[in-house]
């Protein structure tokens, strides 16, 4: 890590309080992350699990073991025992002051704990206010799991509540996508390679398309999805964060605040989405899912066209699509470069009209690839498209939650989202949260409604994700 970034960092958190210790997020992601942190020496402070469930400490410890066996296994028994040795459990009502008195008692000597809210958003206000009233917020950090509100007004209210107890510098808003190695590599690749800068603008880039697709449905989470939908669950956070890393200007100095300044500038430059630039879809059978209303209009698919009103990106269309029960599970970015100004060879346009493009594949299997045309053997001037792979996924990479928890407890804010950026992102989607066309039914295993193709029609079709080739 750069010395300029670490010089003014606050002390590392001396305890972790995990609210929602009996929930799915803790079971699937957080316990494996804590175990990995213990293994690599990044966690040696007390961990206090808190939940409203009527469990005892022995049952929660069993749950930790079950979690690790289901998600990677236990390959270091000593690390597992160290994790259990750090763990304490407090059960109680989040609205009861006695619960927070018990948390304080479980943290003897802790001066700067980190409080992780892995709980339903409806409980955020109750828990944050109780942390403040009990004095547990003094010198502490707050780690908040998305979603950060449901719209601009609720995001502002959530920020107001959080800021009434914690300073902005002590609030860490988690979007787990920012902890992925492939996402971090977008930022690094952009600013560590000088050959990109001359072409990374409206003069050479034709369009940018981003796909985050899942080949499965809501999988029993219909009740949750009814409160969110694809636009809130994926587009406003994950996809906008990717856009910001691609579109941001170079930071003026090497520091976490500089990166956050520049990404927030991108959100402020995004043009609010027009209803005509959004296609909403719903996969066939969604209304039969448990917890889903029989007449639900909640979208399980979104495709949108957006503009960034900045000097660098004026006039360059950005196409975003995401959804469930699509043709494959894949996440990637394709930056399409403009064709040569004179078509010397008939086939030089290449795939879907783009002769060159840069592909950032996030999943499955992270990679960066550059597409170029090469002449086929023979007398005719006929070519074919090839991709040059510049980087591939490597084994042993830290999981997003391992990385984010480590960074938050150390006080490093680069991979987290600032208040102004959250509110600016909500302002972009605000016009279409309630004013939009009905969701269009699409068949499972497709790429969504055919109407989504019309968004990109004037700029070429969506490029087929690399993971789906062959």
Active site residues: 238
Whether residue 56 contacts residue 89, with contact meaning beta carbons closer than 8 Å, is answered with yes
For residue 453, count other CB atoms closer than 10 A to its CB.
14
Half-sphere exposure of 152 (CA within 13 A, CB side): 15
The string of DSSP letters for 325-365 reads: SBS--EEEEEEEEPPPSS--STTTT-GGG-S-EEEEEEESS
Residues whose CB falls within 8 Å of the CB of residue 389, separated by 6 or more in sequence, listed in order? 367, 368, 369
Beta strands in 268-427 (DSSP E): 278-283, 301-306, 318-323, 330-337, 357-363, 367-375, 383-392
Is the distance from CB of 143 to CB of 412 less than 8 angstroms? no
SS3 92: coil
Output the six-digit token pair for 191.
């600013």
| CB 422 within 8 Å of CB 244 | no
Residues belonging to the chain: 470
- DSSP reduced 3-state for 87: strand
- Whole-Å CA distances, 299 to 186, 292, 322, 470: 29, 12, 10, 30
Residues in Cβ contact with 403 at an 8 Å cutoff, skipping those fewer than 6 apart: 179, 415
């Amino acid at each position: 890590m750069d010395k300029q970034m670490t010089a003014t960092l606050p002390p590392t958190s001396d305890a972790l309080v995990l609210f929602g210790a009996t929930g799915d997020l803790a079971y699937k992601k957080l316990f494996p992350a804590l175990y990995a942190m213990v293994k690599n020496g990044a966690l040696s402070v007390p961990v206090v699990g808190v939940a409203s469930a009527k469990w005892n400490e022995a049952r929660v410890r069993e749950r930790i073991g079950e979690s690790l066996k289901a998600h990677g296994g236990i390959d270091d028994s000593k690390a597992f025992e160290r994790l259990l040795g750090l763990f304490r459990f407090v059960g109680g009502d989040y609205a009861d002051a006695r619960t927070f008195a018990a948390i304080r008692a479980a943290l003897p000597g802790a001066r700067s704990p980190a409080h992780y809210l892995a709980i339903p958003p409806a409980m955020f206000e109750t828990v944050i206010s109780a942390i403040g009233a009990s004095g547990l917020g003094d010198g502490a950090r707050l780690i908040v799991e998305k979603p950060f509100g449901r719209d601009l007004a609720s995001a502002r209210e959530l920020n107001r509540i959080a800021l009434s107890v914690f300073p902005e510098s002590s609030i860490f808003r988690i979007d787990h996508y920012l902890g992925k190695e492939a996402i971090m590599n977008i930022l690094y690749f952009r600013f560590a390679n000088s050959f990109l800068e001359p072409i990374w603008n409206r003069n050479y880039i034709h369009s940018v398309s981003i796909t985050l697709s899942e080949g499965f449905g809501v999988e029993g989470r219909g009740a949750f999805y009814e409160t969110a939908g694809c636009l809130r669950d994926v587009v406003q956070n994950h996809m906008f964060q990717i856009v910001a890393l691609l579109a941001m200007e170079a930071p003026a100095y090497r520091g976490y605040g500089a990166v956050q300044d520049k990404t927030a500038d991108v959100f402020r430059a995004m043009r609010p989405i027009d209803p005509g630039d959004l296609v909403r879809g719903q996969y066939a059978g969604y209304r039969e899912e448990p917890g889903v209303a029989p007449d639900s209009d909640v979208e399980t698919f979104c495709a949108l066209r957006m503009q960034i009103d900045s000097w660098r990106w004026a006039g360059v269309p950005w196409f975003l699509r995401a959804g469930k029960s699509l043709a494959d599970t894949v996440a990637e970015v394709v930056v399409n470069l403009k064709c040569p100004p004179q078509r010397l060879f008939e086939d030089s346009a290449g795939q879907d009209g783009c002769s060159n493009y840069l592909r950032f594949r996030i999943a499955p299997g992270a990679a960066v690839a550059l597409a170029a045309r090469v002449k086929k053997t023979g007398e005719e001037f006929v070519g074919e498209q090839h991709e040059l792979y510049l980087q591939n996924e490597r084994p042993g990479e830290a999981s997003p939650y391992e990385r984010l928890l480590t960074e938050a407890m150390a006080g490093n804010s680069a991979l987290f989202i600032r208040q102004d950026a959250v509110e600016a992102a909500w302002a972009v989607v605000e016009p279409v949260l309630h004013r939009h066309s009905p969701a269009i039914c699409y068949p499972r295993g497709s790429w969504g409604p055919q109407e989504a193709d019309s968004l990109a029609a004037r700029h070429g079709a969506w490029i087929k994700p690399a993971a789906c080739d062959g």
